[in-house]
Structure 1
Amino acid sequence: MSSVAETGGSSTWGPVQWIGAVLAWVWVGVPFAYGLYELVLKIPALFG
């Protein structure tokens, strides 16, 4: 059973859930973007 069905609450997110989701995406996205950037910088060395 889901917690929404048990509590009878709505399925919409409140501000706390949105802030948590944004922070989670930033926590994962920023290091991923930096790693991808560093990888792209190293590609020319493979062919040079």
Structure 2
Amino acid sequence: MEAAVVGSDAVVNLVGILYERGQRTFERLHVEAPRQLAQLDAD
């Protein structure tokens, strides 16, 4: 994920899923991933 945002001035999170499957959970995509993006942006 870090390689995708290096040098960016802004990051827009537009992920969404209709149902959970395996590791694609609502918690992971709507809580953990945005938290990681925010941390990358802060660094």
The TM-score with structure 1 as length reference comes to 0.36
**Which structure has the bigger radius of gyration?**
1
Higher normalized contact order (CA 8 Å, seq sep 6+, divided by chain length): 2
